[in-house]
């Protein structure tokens, strides 16, 4: 299944560059942004030109490729050292989406393995290119699988609510939370979607509404404070959201406001589903309280619409994410299947089965 746009891609061979949709300009302008070096990629990730956990992971892998592509004739140790430095620089771009660190760890581990196996510096760079392209390819495949698994619980005629953007524009493929919607529509199910606007940066209104409309799916934008009213009126059959990081006990971190949506869904007896690849699970964290929450500049809240909306000097708090306790989650869709009523035992069982957890 193909959508009529490509969120990000590697262009050319070696040397090459990254082309991505400049998401800060959507929906009024559809412009491609070219990234040609590591600092350019850090900038693109920080200012949300590319955003969404899986897309950030792919962007980070491409960032490593940008950083090593001109290296020639170095020793394995020097190449490994440069790879580590580049990964450390990219790791500073944003703190919450674990896919960023997952992808960087995977790139460094590949370089390490090649060096240990006796590869010279140039062969390590070739291997890093292979690994980066593989991360991209896997993300596209995983999104399709998430879509197929998630669509099992979408029926013809249903109306779904989503928060932020966990669609194609948040991945290299057809998305996470929106993937089941695309697959359901492809299967001929008639669905409608309510997209929370998602203050302060409006990823729901600007990006989710844009991409669903591109795909011909019926979408209605509401401001975040309308979700309770819409649920109470009986309009919503299920909620589907993505995630930036999931702890081992099933606590789910996602865009600020997701927790409120989950509480409202519980109150109204509406299933609250999370769709995420296994790369979004953080095996190091026992619960959601350990997830680092990004805080962003106060202007995003106080001047978010291009004009001042709070008095100059007013204190502003701008956390970009929140954590929804596992108890509010009806099910998590992964490429390995559903984790219903997630808790530590069920999450760990799926991770272990997928080889993502040892011991
Ligand atoms: O700040 P953003 O736009 O990167 O936040 C994105 C989200 O919160 C998404 O829901 C999450 O990354 C899942 S994306 C498949």
**Residue 216: which residues within 8 A CB-CB, separation 6 or more?**
185
Q: Is 241 helix (H, G, I), strand (E, B) or coil?
A: strand
For residue 359, pLDDT over 80 is answered with: no
Residue whose Cα lies nearest atom 8 of ligand 1: it is 255
Clarify whether 244 is annotated catalytic.
yes
CB of 254 shorter than 6 A to ligand 1: yes
Which residue is listed with tokens 């953007």? 165
- The residue-averaged pLDDT of 267-292 equals 98
User: Of 358 and 28, which is predicted with more confidence?
Assistant: 28
Residue 226 phi, psi dihedral angles, 5° rounding: -95, -10
The DSSP bridge pattern shows strands 32-35 and 8-12 to be unpaired
pTM above 0.95, yes or no: yes
Q: What is the pLDDT of residues 97-124, one digit of tens each?
A: 999 999 999 999 999 999 999 999 999 9
- Determine what percent of the chain is predicted with pLDDT higher than 90: 97
Residues in the chain: 359
Which residue is listed with tokens 């390819």? 137
DSSP state of 176: S
Binned at pLDDT 50, 70 and 90, residue 357 comes out as: confident
Long-range contact set of residues 25-33: C-beta below 8 Å, sequence gap at least 24: 26/169, 26/206, 26/207, 26/210, 27/206, 27/207, 27/209, 27/210, 30/5
Give the chain's largest Cα–Cα span.
66
- The whole-number pLDDT of residue 162 equals 99
Beta bridge partners of 11: 17
Taking the CA of residue 275 as reference, the ligand 1 atom at the shortest distance is 15
- The whole-number pLDDT of residue 253 equals 98
> Of these residues, 139, 244, 251, 322, which one is catalytic?
244
- The whole-number pLDDT of residue 356 equals 85
CB of 333 shorter than 6 A to ligand 1: no
Residue 33 near residue 20, CB atoms below 8 Å = yes
CB of 54 shorter than 6 A to ligand 1: yes
Q: What is the pLDDT of residues 143-179, one digit of tens each?
A: 999 999 999 999 999 999 999 999 999 999 999 999 9
Residue 179 near residue 173, CB atoms below 8 Å = yes
Mean pLDDT of the chain: 97
For residue 2, pLDDT over 90 is answered with: no
- The residue-averaged pLDDT of 130-140 equals 98
**What is the Å distance from ligand 1's center to 231 Cα?**
23
Q: What is the pLDDT of residues 36-86, one digit of tens each?
A: 999 999 999 999 999 999 999 999 999 999 999 999 999 999 999 999 999
- The whole-number pLDDT of residue 339 equals 98
Taking the CA of residue 99 as reference, the ligand 1 atom at the shortest distance is 12
CB of 195 shorter than 6 A to ligand 1: no
Q: What is the pLDDT of residues 190-236, one digit of tens each?
A: 999 999 999 999 999 999 999 999 999 999 999 999 999 999 999 99
């Amino acid at each position: 299944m193909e959508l009529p746009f490509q969120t990000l891609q590697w262009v050319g061979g070696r040397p090459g560059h990254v082309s991505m949709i400049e998401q800060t300009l959507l929906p009024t302008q559809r412009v491609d942004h070219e990234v040609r070096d590591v600092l350019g990629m850090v900038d693109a990730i920080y200012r949300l030109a590319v955003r969404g956990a899986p897309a950030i992971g792919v962007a980070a892998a491409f960032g490593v490729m940008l950083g090593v592509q001109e290296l020639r004739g170095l020793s394995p140790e020097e190449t490994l050292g440069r790879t580590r430095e580049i990964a450390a620089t990219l790791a500073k771009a944003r703190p919450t989406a674990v896919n960023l660190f997952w992808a960087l760890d995977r790139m460094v581990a590949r370089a390490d393995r090649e060096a240990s196996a006796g590869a010279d510096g140039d062969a390590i760079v070739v291997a890093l290119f292979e690994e980066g392209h593989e991360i991209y390819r896997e993300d596209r495949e995983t999104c399709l699988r998430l879509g197929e698994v998630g669509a099992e619980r979408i029926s013809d005629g249903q109306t779904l609510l989503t928060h932020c953007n966990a669609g194609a524009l948040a991945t290299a493929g057809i998305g996470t939370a929106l993937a089941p919607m695309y697959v359901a529509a492809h299967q001929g199910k008639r669905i409608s979607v309510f997209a929370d606007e998602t203050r302060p940066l409006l990823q729901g209104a600007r990006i989710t509404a844009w991409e669903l409309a591109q795909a011909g799916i019926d979408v209605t934008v509401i401001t975040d404070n309308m979700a309770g009213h819409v649920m109470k009126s009986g309009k919503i059959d299920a909620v589907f959201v993505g995630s930036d990081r999931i702890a081992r006990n099933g606590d789910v971190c996602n865009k600020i406001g997701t927790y409120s949506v989950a509480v409202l869904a519980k109150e109204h007896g509406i299933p609250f589903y999370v769709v995420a690849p296994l790369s979004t699970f953080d095996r190091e964290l026992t619960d959601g309280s350990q997830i680092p929450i990004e805080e962003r500049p106060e202007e995003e809240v106080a001047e978010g619409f291009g004009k001042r909306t709070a008095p100059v000097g007013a204190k502003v708090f701008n956390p970009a994410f929140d954590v929804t306790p596992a108890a509010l989650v009806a099910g998590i869709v992964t490429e390995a299947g559903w984790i219903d009523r997630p808790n530590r035992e069920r999450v760990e069982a799926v991770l272990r089965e997928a080889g993502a957890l040892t011991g």
